[in-house]
Every structure is written in structure tokens, then in C-alpha cells.
Amino acid sequence: MARFFKKLYSSIKETVDDDFVDFGEEKNVGDNVHLKVISTLKTSSGVTIKTTGAALPDGKNVEGTLEPEFKIADYDLTLKGKLVTTNTFEGSLLLNDKLLQGSTLFATGKAEGEKRTIEVGFDYLNKENGSLNLKFITPPTTEMKELDLYAAAVGHYNGTSLGGDVRLNLSSNELKLWDVYAEYDNKDVQIAGFAKYDKRKSKKSYGFGYSHNVNENIRGAVEYSYNAVAGEGNLKFGTAYKVDSNTTLKSRFTLQGSKAMRFGFVVKQNINPTTKVTLITDINANRLYDNDERESAGHQFGVTLSFFD
């Protein structure tokens, strides 16, 4: 994915999504407390090892992730890996600045259960104007019918950005996914619109977001998205309040179409320079006053501990 593409919509996303319960991910929703511990080890020789352990909210399963990274500065080379206890593996080789300054050549192998894929491509970043990413995705086979092309690009000029990505099967010309973002950002105000399509997950949605820095400590944001497949909208209001250098309070109000009205709260506390705790609560407001039995998740709770992250 183009590197600027990750930054599009960032201020809005940080306010209404980051740290809160993700109801788009089934494993993040359950009837018990979701516990997560993250630890990151960095050395002066360019080695980073990140470990994550999580007790999933179903109260029965745990998940562990190991993410090592080795940077070899003399050769502008980076080796990255990801191993998950759910029988998932990912390994990448990256060569930086070999084509031109700001470019990265990469090759990635992925395995998830019986599924295997290989990705080969390049990424280019120009901090003034934008970025570009192109890669070919295929299982380990010589059959062209399995070969996909993924492309992502972002253009940036004078506070306005336009970005998008697309995944296309080169044999059948089948469009598997696309995303488009348009954004204006003047540091204190961010306005953005988006549209998304993913055939594999039967998802099609569009919407807009607005974020405003009231002052250096308070930010508010609103997002509306419409799921064209389910035929319903989702409205979110979020605030982030920086109490001091160590404490941040976040809140979110959500209307999930016809399913539920929810209130979410997050407390992020830096206990010391190396340790951070995040407390997460998400309340189904319908069930507070009318014992609502519609298809919506109950109250959600989570705790995340981060060390050296």
C-alpha cells in the first residue's frame, strides 16, 4: 500500500476508531474481557522484536504473534517476519533506495492455513507530492489465471490529497477491490470522503468524515458511512482529550443502523516511559433501558498493556 495512503483519514480514524472495539472484526467482539499484552524490544544494531499475546473475548481462545525485524544498514536491507499461533506466517525482504531515493523493492511470502501467496513489487515515496505502490500477487503456481495486480497511489498538494487502490485479476480482468479517498487537511481541520468495495468480503460502502482540533488538547470528529450491501448507515461521534502528557481520555457515540446505540470510552495512561495501559469499554445503550434483543453485541470490555511500544 502506498505509504501516504496509510495517512489519509488518519486524524478522523484516530478519534472515532483507534483503541475502540472494532465491530468489523468478529474475534474482537464477545461476552468476556479482551486482554492484550504488547512488548517491543529494540536494539542499537537494528533488530526489533515485537510480541503480542491476547486472550480473545470469547473467554476460550488465546492468540500470540511474533514479529521480528532485522535492518542491515550497510546494504539498505530489511528482513521482516510475522508468526501467529493461528497457523499464519509472513516473511518479507525489502531493499531500500535501490531504484531511486525513496523507493523500496520487496518480496513477501504469506501462508495462512493451506493458503499460500507470494507478493513482489515496489513502493515509492515523495514526501512533497505523494506515493505509489505496485505489486503482483499470486499463489505459488505458474498459472496466469491466479495472478493479481495491486496498485495504490496518493497525490498531495497544498493540503489536499487524493488517493486510491485497486486489485485486479490480470487473466479475467475481474475487479476484486478498490478504495478511494479525497481529503482536505489544514492541520486543525480535516474533511474527507471515501468509497470502498471488496468483492471477496461482499462489502461496498461510502461516507465522509470531519475532524476538528478545538485546541492543542481537545479534538472532535464525526464519521458517517453507508453499507450499500446491508442497506444501513453507521454514524460515529468521537472526542479525544489529552489530560496531560501521560493521560488521554477518548469517547465515542455510535448509531449502528437499526442494530444498536453504543457508548465507548477509552483511558490511555503512560505509567512510565516504557509502560502504557489502555482501558476500553463499549456499552450497548439499548440494553440499558429496554432489554433490547435485536442482533447486536452486548457490552464490551478490554485491557491492553504495552511495554517499550
Q: What is the pLDDT of residues 89-113, one digit of tens each?
A: 999 999 998 888 889 999 999 999 8
Range of the domain at 119: 3-307
**Is beta strand 33-42 parallel, antiparallel or unpaired with respect to 300-307?**
parallel
Per-residue model confidence as pLDDT tens digits over 113-146: 889 999 999 999 988 888 999 999 999 877 778 8
Q: List the single range of 41-55, 214-228, 251-265 with lowest mean pLDDT.
A: 251-265
Tell the residue number behind the cell numbers 464490551, with chain if given: 300
List CB contacts of 26: < 8 A, sequence separation 6 or more: none
pLDDT at 99: 83
- The mean of the pLDDT values for the chain is 90
Determine the Cα–Cα distance for residues 208 and 196; give it in Å rounded to an integer: 12
Q: List the single range of 36-40, 64-68, 201-205 with lowest mean pLDDT.
A: 201-205
Helix (H, G, I), strand (E, B) or coil at 64: strand
pLDDT at 78: 95
Determine the Cα–Cα distance for residues 155 and 5; give it in Å rounded to an integer: 9
List CB contacts of 102: < 8 A, sequence separation 6 or more: 124, 125, 126, 127
Q: Where are the alpha helices (DSSP H) in the chain?
A: 3-7, 10-16, 286-289
pLDDT at 49: 96
Tell the residue number behind the cell numbers 477491490, with chain if given: 177
Helix (H, G, I), strand (E, B) or coil at 90: strand
pLDDT at 210: 96
Q: List the single range of 1-10, 185-194, 254-263 with lowest mean pLDDT.
A: 1-10
Percent of the chain with pLDDT over 70: 95
User: Residue 308 above 70 pLDDT?
Assistant: yes
pLDDT at 5: 62
pLDDT at 255: 92
The phi and psi torsions of 58 (rounded to 5 degrees) equal -75, -10
295 band by pLDDT with thresholds 50, 70 and 90 = low
187 band by pLDDT with thresholds 50, 70 and 90 = confident
Closest CA to 12 of 24, 20, 1: 20
- The DSSP result for 121-166, as a single string, is EEEEEETTTEEEEEEEEE-SS--GGG-EEEEEEEEEETTEEEEEEE
Determine the residue type at 98: K
Mean pLDDT computed over 228-239: 92
Number of domains in the chain: 1
pLDDT at 3: 62
| pTM for the whole structure | 0.86
Q: Where are the alpha helices (DSSP H) in 138-292?
A: 286-289
User: Residue 1 above 80 pLDDT?
Assistant: no
159 band by pLDDT with thresholds 50, 70 and 90 = confident
User: Residue 293 above 90 pLDDT?
Assistant: no
Question: What CATH number does residue 136 fall under?
Answer: 2.40.160.10
List CB contacts of 260: < 8 A, sequence separation 6 or more: 254, 284, 285, 286, 292, 294, 296, 297
Determine the Cα–Cα distance for residues 61 and 27; give it in Å rounded to an integer: 10
Determine the Cα–Cα distance for residues 172 and 153; give it in Å rounded to an integer: 23
CA angle 14, 217, 244 (to 5 degrees): 100
Q: Could you tell me how far CA 105 lies from the centroid of its own chain?
A: 23
User: Residue 59 above 80 pLDDT?
Assistant: yes
pLDDT at 134: 95
User: Residue 4 above 70 pLDDT?
Assistant: no
